[in-house]
Amino acid sequence: MSASKSHAVKPLNALLDATVRVPGSKSVAARALICAALSTGTSTVSNLPSGDDTESMLAGLIQLGLKIDRFGDEARFASSLDVEQTQPLVLDARLAGTTARFLTALSALRSGEVVITGEEALRKRPMHDLHQALSEIGFDISPLNGTGMLPVAVKRGEQKSARVTIAATTSSQFTTALMLIAPRLSQGLTIVTEGDVVSQSYLDMTVGVQQVFGVTPHESSEQVFRYMPSEYVGTNYVVEPDASSASYPLAAAAIVGGRVTISGLGKSFLQGDSKFVDVLVRMGCAMEHRGDDVVLSRAAEQPLMGVVVDMRDMSDLVPTLAVVASFAQTATTITGVGFIRNKESDRIGDLAHELRQLGVSVDELQDGLTVHPSTTHAGTIDTHHDHRIAMALALIGLVTPGVVINDSMVVTKSWPEYWTMLGALQ
């Protein structure tokens, strides 16, 4: 990934009329890949996205000894995880928080020690709650550079608890990591979440993927997930289109006017981000289903209006909504997302700063943002190593000449073809 490469966004000269095919969901894919790795029999996971996060997950699984054959966007699992292997390993999660957290839990099932590490920005992200929970269950967890951070060494220990409590206020990925390995524990596991759950939709997604692989929690509620010892069963799993990626062409239609068709998005039912369309409709857009496709449009004479919205279940789309809100005729207030300060960037502070570079009037709140009607202007954006800031703020350049995105290849984390897609909009 080249940190020096920048991208100048080309403005559009007409209303949109485009059809876009988005990648498979990287969040769904990550869960399906772990379930396949733990399954008896063979599995195929298809419609995988091509981004760095998915590639780092597959690379880690292969290092763990899984036999995985790649055919285009398909991964065929010819084996499951051999938890009796003793060879010490080092897994590099690169910049992928999901990969780091899921592979930490998976590797803890293994007899031999595994060190989980990543690039500098990932080593600064919080891991404490997951490490502590794994330690309380009985796994051997050894921080190598400070408690609750990467790198960390993990290996199997004797299970000493079948019940663990974990804070739900930082990241749903901690809880999901435990949910994914829970059926493979000799005593099963009851996971109790404390505090206001952030991104509940991602926990529901985890349960949905597990069920396709033959595992259903014995108890599932907003605060408790109880798993009995059980087996994942190999299956052929097709990853649904990524609703997070779809937010960008959808937002483009809202900002520019016209319409965009997202191929297959009507099949995206596991992702909380699929409800982003509803927010755009509240702001003045129109939506219709055509088979499995979703069509979003905004007539030129229909103004965008601001909204007040709790985005805790669509937190990855805060940058996208903030950009759309910049073009609304009334203010938009986004709440419920204080926890996104600990994402790839500070997605409140850093986002507000970069929006101001393009003339957007924005107030930073403790748990969100208020974006005021603004007159945008040319400027250069720093991405803060965050693909979502890059992709969202680039949309301003569709109607505002002179928008340049630094470190533009950060988009390879989730959508390597993003700039090609944006350039093809017409």
Task: Give catalytic residue positions.
Answer: 316
Specify the DSSP element, H or E, that contains 357.
helix 349-357
Query: Could you give phi then psi for residue 100, rounded to 5 degrees?
Result: -60, -45
Return the half-sphere exposure (C-beta side, CA atoms, 13 A cut-off) of residue 22: 28
Distance of alpha carbon 271 from alpha carbon 30, whole angstroms: 13
C-alpha distances in angstroms, 67 versus 92, 151, 301?
A: 18, 25, 56
Pairing of strands 362-365, 286-290: unpaired
330 in Cβ contact with 341 (< 8 Å):
no
- The rounded distance, in Å, linking the Cα atoms of 306 and 309 is 10
Write out the two tokens for 132.
């502590």
The set of residues, in sequence order, having a beta carbon less than 8 Å from that of 209 and lying 6+ positions away, is 28, 31, 32, 35, 237, 270
